[in-house]
Structure 1
Amino acid sequence: MADNVTTETVDVRGLKLKVQQAGSGETILFLHGAGGSNWTGLLDRLATKYRVLLPEHPGFGRSQIPDWMMSVGDLALFYLDFMTASKLDNVHLAGHSLGGWLTAEIAIRNTTKLRSVSLLAPAGIAVEEAPFGDVFLWNHEQSTRAQFHDQALAEKRLTVAPDLDIALQNKSAVARLAWNPRFSNPQLPFWLHRIDKPTLLLWGREDRVIPYACHVPYKNGIAQAQMETIDLCGHAIHNEKPAEAAAVIEKFLSGVKA
């Protein structure tokens, strides 16, 4: 994590939300995936040109799961309140995996505070011919290996012991959001037409968690969707190909009109 990343606490209707941030300029609000809130090389690169905010979802890390959080839809409404509490407007909303699904759920509800939408290998829509991997059944090694196309990166990641308390807390929170049906909302495809902002879809072609074929309903459902692919890349786009992902996102954002 870069030295210039700071952490603050934002009060959202009585809930204290931890938010990391760095950079200046137009705001990117980045929503993390099921693995938790981790500042990555992708965010370091984006923060050289943008103000990047990375909140830790309620119930993740060392925070308690709030009683009201029973679905990704609940979390979407919470983040709309967060944007109001933080006085955010013209936001470039982005998210990866679970966070990408959450980004889509926010955007189908209300885009008035958004300038663009970026979905990085989002969960949320199951495709019969390309089923999701079941993260609830995988152990730590299986989950880590599934994140990467380049297994040398997986091996390196496996040398770092996880914080088991945080890992279990994150899994508990994810179970609230994505247990049944697994990591999807069957109603979501019907409402994607409500996303009326420029939208980037970014996928690793070798994704084994949320397979590449899952981009099709998103591409078909969002009128202003632009699809980009990173070859020789798995699910963890932000960790496996941070420079390539940052270049794609920056090019997309530079074309978004104010």
Structure 2
Amino acid sequence: MFEEKWLTVNDCKVRVRRGGSGPTLLYLHGANGAAKVPAFLESFTAHFDVWVPEHPGFGESDAPDWLENIHDLAYFYSDFLHQLGLSKVHVIGSSIGGWLAMEMAIREPQRFSSMVLIGCAGIRLEGTPPGDTFQWDPATAVRNTFVDDKMVAFALSHPLEPATAQKNRRTVERLAFEPRLHDPMLHKWLHRIQCPVQLAWGDQDKIMPLAYGHAFAKLIPQSQLVVYPNCGHLPQMEQATEFAASSLKFMREVQPS
């Protein structure tokens, strides 16, 4: 069970859901927000104290004027964790949330115990552009997110509230429109990530192609790439059982430093 609470960090009020007990696990959502706690996280509450915030600018959280790029969000979460006194944090970051996790870890490498990065943005490969999500209508975005037709049908029949979708999209534009879905400097500093990292990728990801998973595996020192077959951009949804088993095993085997 997750309980909802509201936290104010530097005059920015954010919605947070929290459940479970154990070492801290922070879930950083992607472009679609976290209107609901992702179902796969329920299995983690038996082993971790799971925190699921809605980023500034998403969902019901405040949309502060100072939020201009991914770096602002990384520094916000640095203050967030400092205010709560959280260290040795495990992180699961999805898509933009994975990019955010890396930006946080290169700034404060000592704060994190492990990371699972799902189809994450953040770098650019010459000749292999990411899917241009800013050019897609909502239906096209859904079809390019999932491989499973049942997942596509469910997502199309359960859209976000229009106001929430618009707010989320505007924030994603602030974070990742230009340069498109990457930080030109990030690749130079990924060696600073000190914790073990599992890269989780769908073999048919049309948003961040699998080539990005292989590239990150070369750039991040203690990293391993797990590829999920017959899967698109969100293995935590499309291959939920396999993803939860793999990522939970990975994080539980990490010894706090």
TM norm structure 2: 0.95
Which residue is equivalent to 2:239? 241
Which residue is equivalent to 2:191? 193
Q: Which amino acid aligns with 2:157?
A: T
Alpha-carbon distance in structure 2 between the residues aligned to 1:53 and 1:17: 12
Alignment of 1:2-151 (within 5 A): 4-37=1-34, 38-151=36-149
Q: Which runs of 5+ in 2 are unaligned?
A: none
Whether the 8 Å CA contact 1:144–1:157 is kept in 2: the answer is: yes
Whether the 8 Å CA contact 1:189–1:217 is kept in 2: the answer is: no
Whether the 8 Å CA contact 1:45–1:243 is kept in 2: the answer is: no
Alpha-carbon distance in structure 1 between the residues aligned to 2:199 and 2:77: 21
Instruction: Tell me the C-alpha RMSD between the 2 structures.
Output: 1.2
2:183 is the counterpart of 1:181: no
Alpha-carbon distance in structure 1 between the residues aligned to 2:167 and 2:245: 33
What per-residue deviation string (whole Å, max 9, x for no partner) do you get for residues 176-195 of structure 1? 10011111111111000010
Whether the 8 Å CA contact 1:206–1:234 is kept in 2: the answer is: yes
> Structure 1 runs of 4+ off > 6 angstroms?
none
Which residue is equivalent to 2:201? 203
What per-residue deviation string (whole Å, max 9, x for no partner) do you get for residues 93-137 of structure 1? 220000000001000111222111221110111222321111111
Q: What is the identity percentage for the equivalent residue pairs of Structure 1 and Structure 2?
A: 38
Q: Which runs of 5+ in 1 are unaligned?
A: none
Tell me how many residue pairs correspond in the alignment: 255
Q: Which amino acid aligns with 2:200?
A: L
Which residue is equivalent to 1:162? 160
What per-residue deviation string (whole Å, max 9, x for no partner) do you get for residues 63-110 of structure 1? 442122111011001101000111111110220000000001000111
Bigger Cα displacement from structure 2, 120-129 vs 99-108: 120-129
Which residue is equivalent to 1:232? 230
